[in-house]
Structure 1
Amino acid sequence: MQQAPAKDRIQLVDALRGFALLGIFLANILIFSGWEFLTDAGRAALADASAIDWQHRFHKFFVDGKFYTLFSMLFGAGFALQLERLTQRGADGLRIYRRRVLILLGIGLVHQWLIWDGDILVLYALMGLILPAFHRLSDRALLAWSALLIFAVPIAGVLTVNAAGWPPDAGLLALSERVAVALGAVNPQDGVTWLRRTDFDGWFSWVMSGPIYSWGIRLMSWRIFKVLGIMLLGMWIGRRVASGSLLNDRRLLWRVLAGGLLIGVPANVAYTYGKQWQTDWPSLIGTVPLALAYAAAFALAWPRAQRVLGIFSFPGRMALTNYLTQSIICILVFYGFGLGQVGYWPPAAFYTFALAVFLVQLLLSRWWLRHHAQGPMEALWRRGTYSGRVTRAAAPG
């Protein structure tokens, strides 16, 4: 069977990354817009019951957890592909990779503590530093570790924590509230009123206490283990892409699609009922399979729909720049020190806004990449990674 050209394989990865970036924005817009913080009465004042129900089911079924799964998978695949390329050049691939991830960690820390507390880059970087410990494992061992961390550890952890009555967030949510109050927050339970404040103390108390809260949520949801497991699965995928044996294996892709839908659809339908969260069994069981079905469907459609799906490759090649820009745009629009729109928009409005911003980013990314090899943040990231006499020779041209 003829292998897909390397250029096509890389464009597919970029396009899938761009698609995942859109999905992550659709997930994050609930936080930026304040919808996630509104009471039932507050939501009812903005939208009728059918619109609220539509938003809930759309988010739970299609969005929640699926796109950070895709992004984590692509991070692991990128590690495997980068290591393969650098090793072929005779470079110290692991050293360069660690340097790259440490720079990402620095970018994430600035983003998390000065721009938006919901940052995901820090978690990706920290888990990325662990990936080299697994890179010598066989494909079978990678898949076993992946399944263990994605399914077994979270399910066992939830059952154990619930049975023992332990605080799943390790007390971080309470600590976040104490920090917020100490820094000037009046009512930490009312996120919308808090974000509407125009004074410096309001913003400072939010941005300083927010990362503590976010890490508490990640502990509660067992996301840390799941992200590492998904990255390991991505490493396996990256190996197969590098060898040209994945994208041509349409039988495997159809099996992933069918299996992902068979498990993911009923589980996520169940997830849309009631106020369930990521620690409830429908999410624990169904999120990753449905995300893998998205990826398999994307890869299967690629040969015939490349002209359409390929447009996602432009924002995908500038994912870091676009991700950070989304945060800056949204806090300027929604936070009190900006336009103060938090808590005022119904679902139709904030979803339309997210799609419009992404469309502008797509067009700007396409224009930028006509004149530059990389996005601004990607170029800065690359410059830091390949600076110095030891690594400069290994930098791709």
Structure 2
Amino acid sequence: MTDLNSATEDRRMVPVADRLVVIDTLRAIALFGVIVMNLTAMVMIFKAEAVMAAAGPVDMGVGLFELVFLQGKARSSFAFLFGVGFGILMLRAQARGAGFEGFYLRRVFILLVIGLCNLAFLYWGDILIVYALLGMVLLLFRNAGQKTLFTLGLTMVLVPPLLIGAAEAIIGGPLPNLAGVGPTASQAAFDALLPAYAGGDYWAFVAANLRYYLMHNLTETSYVAMYDLGVLGLFMLGLWTARKGVFENIERHRSLLRRIAAIALPVGLVISVVQAT
């Protein structure tokens, strides 16, 4: 009976009293940023030229704000917080003497199913599938040391963009795709999206979503691989942060957070402004 009760307890949601408000708040802010950027992408992907032609000074200002303060930040924050959540769940399970691996795998499997449903039935630009699959990979690092997590995570976040930039400069163009699928296949799948969205056949809409998701990923394999490495790196940094107990005792780690902010904020702001302009 003890094992059964423990398994039932593991599947319950975390009580409100045990939740960390700061993490929930950061998730909400990150989710808002993801929503804003996705709404922009949904409009711009089909009507970019028309939108830019009609944009006034206020529109351009809002667009610049999005590029500097939201582009890439919201999804990066979400990935980092995924790793934090993983770490907190694992540490609490260990403190209770409860099993973690099976409980966690059930959660990421459900996340994978939700992502597949989102991809097929709502919008091809899904990220939950990536989170679920890389979340399974993260499980392999649950016993890694703090130094390993920090070093490997930071390397995965920082090195891929540098490699992409260097490789593009050397070859004088975009990276070759590794799956052997030409860009025309992805373009054809993209061109089929809008007619499917505007038509009345829902299953044609589903098929168009699935086709473009597949063709896009097969065409952009080099970039997808680099992006996925960055996401996994953020997961690891989140796990490292959870183990340090940063969010459970902000005051104790205030000096660490200030040091990180003193370096990351100005560097990130400069990079964002350069990219936006």
Please indicate the TM-score interval, normalised by the length of the shorter structure: 0.7 to 0.9
Q: Deviations over 1:53-103 (max 9, x none)?
A: 223312210111101111101110111110111112222212221221122
In structure 2, what is the Cα distance between the partners aligned to 1:85 and 1:23?
A: 29
In structure 2, what is the Cα distance between the partners aligned to 1:242 and 1:135?
A: 18
Q: 1:201 to 1:129 in 2, by over 3 A?
A: closer
Task: Provide the identity percentage.
Answer: 27
**2:145 is matched with which residue: 138, 142, 152?**
138
Q: 1:147 to 1:44 in 2, by over 3 A?
A: closer
> 2:47 corresponds to which residue?
38
> 2:80 corresponds to which residue?
73
Is 2:64 the counterpart of 1:57? yes
Deviation, structure 1 residue 198 = 3.6
The residue identity in structure 1 corresponding to 2:109 is: L
**Secondary structure of the equivalent of 1:239?**
helix
The answer to whether the 8 A contact 2:120-2:206 is kept is: no
The answer to whether the 8 A contact 1:237-1:246 is kept is: no
> 1:148 corresponds to which residue?
155
Is 2:273 the counterpart of 1:269? yes
TM-score between the two structures when normalised by the length of structure 2 = 0.81
Question: Equivalences for 1:213-292 in 2 at 5 Å?
Answer: 213-215=215-217, 216=219, 219-220=222-223, 222-241=226-245, 244=248, 246-273=250-277
**Secondary structure of the equivalent of 1:19?**
helix
The residue identity in structure 1 corresponding to 2:62 is: Q
Q: 1:247 to 1:268 in 2, by over 3 A?
A: same
> 1:208 corresponds to which residue?
210
Is 2:30 the counterpart of 1:47? no
> 1:335 corresponds to which residue?
none
> 1:348 corresponds to which residue?
none
**Secondary structure of the equivalent of 1:134?**
coil
Q: 1:155 to 1:145 in 2, by over 3 A?
A: same
The residue identity in structure 1 corresponding to 2:211 is: S
**1:23 is matched with which residue: 33, 40, 47?**
33
Q: Deviations over 1:15-37 (max 9, x none)?
A: 111111101001100133x2233
Q: Deviations over 1:133-153 (max 9, x none)?
A: 212222111110011100113
Q: 1:201 to 1:82 in 2, by over 3 A?
A: closer
In structure 1, what is the Cα distance between the partners aligned to 2:269 and 2:184?
A: 36
Deviation, structure 1 residue 242 = 7.2
Q: Deviations over 1:208-229 (max 9, x none)?
A: 2232255355752632111000
In structure 2, what is the Cα distance between the partners aligned to 1:27 and 1:218?
A: 23
The answer to whether the 8 A contact 2:177-2:221 is kept is: no
The residue identity in structure 1 corresponding to 2:223 is: M
In structure 1, what is the Cα distance between the partners aligned to 2:233 and 2:204?
A: 37
The residue identity in structure 2 corresponding to 1:236 is: W
TM-score between the two structures when normalised by the length of structure 1 = 0.58
> 1:11 corresponds to which residue?
21
Q: Deviations over 1:105-132 (max 9, x none)?
A: 1221121122211111100001100112
The runs of 5 or more residues in structure 2 that have no matched partner are 1-15
Q: 1:192 to 1:46 in 2, by over 3 A?
A: farther
The residue identity in structure 2 corresponding to 1:115 is: L
**Secondary structure of the equivalent of 1:136?**
coil
The answer to whether the 8 A contact 2:84-2:241 is kept is: yes
Q: 1:247 to 1:227 in 2, by over 3 A?
A: farther
In structure 2, what is the Cα distance between the partners aligned to 1:240 and 1:172?
A: 46
CA-based RMSD: 2.8
Deviation, structure 1 residue 244 = 4.2
In structure 2, what is the Cα distance between the partners aligned to 1:217 and 1:268?
A: 23
In structure 2, what is the Cα distance between the partners aligned to 1:13 and 1:225?
A: 23
In structure 1, what is the Cα distance between the partners aligned to 2:58 and 2:182?
A: 34
The answer to whether the 8 A contact 1:118-1:211 is kept is: yes
The residue identity in structure 2 corresponding to 1:271 is: Q
Q: Mean alpha-carbon deviation: is it higher for 13-22 or for 218-227?
A: 218-227
Give the length in aligned residue pairs.
257
The runs of 5 or more residues in structure 1 that have no matched partner are 1-5, 274-397
In structure 1, what is the Cα distance between the partners aligned to 2:79 and 2:112?
A: 15
Deviation, structure 1 residue 194 = 5.7
In structure 2, what is the Cα distance between the partners aligned to 1:136 and 1:246?
A: 24
